[in-house]
């Protein structure tokens, strides 16, 4: 594997100057889906069995519902999400021009609530926020990820990469130690994947609910006994952005199902 990867990396060196040692070359990138058992895959593939689809349906309702003191629904500005939201999640986190920094899809939804609906922000991991982001991201199912292509995003992608490579916590492990160097192996019997962010928000059987990418990153950090960054913190946003740029070209699959 590592010899093959080294050869692939060498072959790609000219084409992909941004690839650092240990990073996974584009044609070796695999969604977490490919690491799962047949049953979990079947559950993801069948919309009538995929528990994440219930959130997508809730999100569709919320999309059309007037809210806030502006009495406006998402649909009043954006129309039919099937066309207006197609491909959007594949570009997030994206730079917000006014803030001059990247914002996640969750943050974008709350910015729209504050600025256009005059509504209060939805708390992280609340059912309504997960439902809306699942509904929006679902419109990108099958679309190739391009987040991080914006040259303005570069410093934030780099910050995220540094965080990904940084050892941390009492166990002194970095994301890269598991997700670049040891995917396809087993941690306490469970498969380690490449940590690709393709399916979020996704339904995790262990959680018994839908959860955001930030929830997942925070649990990896707690796993190595590090102090997890707060939801919405610049560090988590940068990590998310790096993960998306690292998944460049993989297809979105929201809502995915994971064990």
Minimum CB distance to ligand HEC, residue 33 (Å): 7
Q: Is 192 in the site for ligand HEC (CB under 6 A)?
A: yes
Contacts to ligand HEC from residues 25-64, by CB under 6 A: 32
239/213 Cα distance (integer angstroms): 10
Cβ count near 78 (within 10 Å):
16
220 is catalytic: yes
127-138 and 105-112 are packed helices; what angle lies between their axes, rounded to 10 degrees? 110
Distance in Å, CB of 58 to ligand HEC, minimum = 21
Number of residues engaging ligand HEC in binding (CB under 6 A): 25
Our CB check for ligand HEC shows the closer of 81 and 244 to be 244
CB 247, CB 84: distance < 8 Å: no
- On whether the CB atoms of residues 147 and 228 are closer than 8 A, the answer is no
Q: Could you say which of ligand HEC, other proteins, none residue 189 binds, taking C-beta under 5 to 8 angstroms by partner kind?
A: other proteins
Query: What backbone phi and psi angles, to 5 degrees, belong to 130?
Result: -65, -40
The residues binding other proteins (CB under 8 A) are 166-173, 177, 181-182, 185-190, 192, 221-222, 225-228
- Quick check: 159 binds ligand HEC (CB under 6 A)? no
State how far the Cα of 221 lies from the Cα of 207, in Å rounded to an integer: 16
Residue 166's binding partner among other proteins, ligand HEC, none (Cβ under 5 to 8 angstroms by kind) is: other proteins
Q: Residue 228 Cβ, how far from other proteins at the closest point, in Å?
A: 8
Q: Which residues contact 155 (CB under 8 A, 6 or more apart)?
A: none
Task: In whole angstroms, give the CA distance from residue 203 to residue 46.
Answer: 13
Q: Does 165 bind ligand HEC (CB under 6 A)?
A: no
Task: Name which of 177, 176, 159 is nearest 93 in CA terms.
Answer: 159
Q: Give the interface segment with ligand HEC, choosing from 109-117, 129-137, 218-226, 245-253 (CB under 6 A).
A: 218-226
CB of 232 to other proteins, least distance (A): 18
Nearer to ligand HEC among residue 67 and residue 219 (C-beta): 219
Residue closer to ligand HEC by CB (options 122, 213) is 213
Token output for 237: 């946003």
Length of the chain, in residues: 259
Q: Of 74, 77, 112, 220, which is the active-site residue?
A: 220
The answer to whether 229 touches 236, Cβ cutoff 8 Å, is yes
The residue written with tokens 């100057």 in the block is 17
- Distance, in Å, from the CA atom of 144 to the CA atom of 248, rounded to the nearest integer, reads 7
Q: Which residues bind ligand HEC (CB under 6 A)?
A: 32, 164, 173, 175, 177-179, 187, 190, 192-193, 195-197, 199, 202, 216-217, 220-221, 223-224, 239, 243, 258
- Residues annotated catalytic, as ranges: 220
């Amino acid at each position: 594997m590592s010899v093959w990867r080294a050869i692939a990396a060498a072959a790609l060196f000219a084409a992909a100057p941004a690839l650092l040692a240990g990073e996974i070359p584009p044609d070796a990138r695999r969604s977490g889906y490919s690491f799962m058992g047949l049953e979990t895959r079947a559950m993801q593939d069948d919309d009538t069995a995929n528990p994440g689809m219930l959130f997508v349906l809730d999100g569709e309702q919320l999309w059309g519902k007037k809210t806030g003191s502006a009495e406006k629904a998402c649909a009043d500005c954006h129309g039919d999400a099937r066309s207006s939201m197609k491909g959007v999640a594949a570009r997030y986190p994206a730079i917000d021009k006014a803030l001059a920094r990247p914002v996640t899809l969750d943050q974008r939804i709350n910015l729209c609530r504050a600025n256009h609906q005059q509504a209060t922000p939805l708390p992280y991991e609340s059912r309504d926020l997960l439902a809306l982001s699942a509904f929006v991201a679902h419109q990108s199912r099958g679309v190739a990820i391009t987040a991080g292509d914006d040259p303005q995003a570069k410093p934030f992608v780099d910050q995220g990469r540094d965080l990904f490579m940084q050892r941390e916590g009492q166990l002194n492990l970095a994301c890269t130690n598991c997700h670049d160097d040891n995917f396809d192996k087993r941690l306490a019997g469970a498969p380690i994947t490449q940590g690709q962010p393709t399916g979020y928000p996704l339904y995790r059987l262990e959680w018994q609910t839908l959860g955001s990418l930030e929830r997942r990153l925070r649990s990896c950090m707690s796993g190595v006994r590090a102090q997890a960054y707060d939801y919405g913190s610049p560090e988590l946003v940068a990590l998310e952005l790096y993960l998306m740029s690292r998944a460049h070209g993989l297809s979105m699959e929201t809502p995915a199902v994971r064990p």
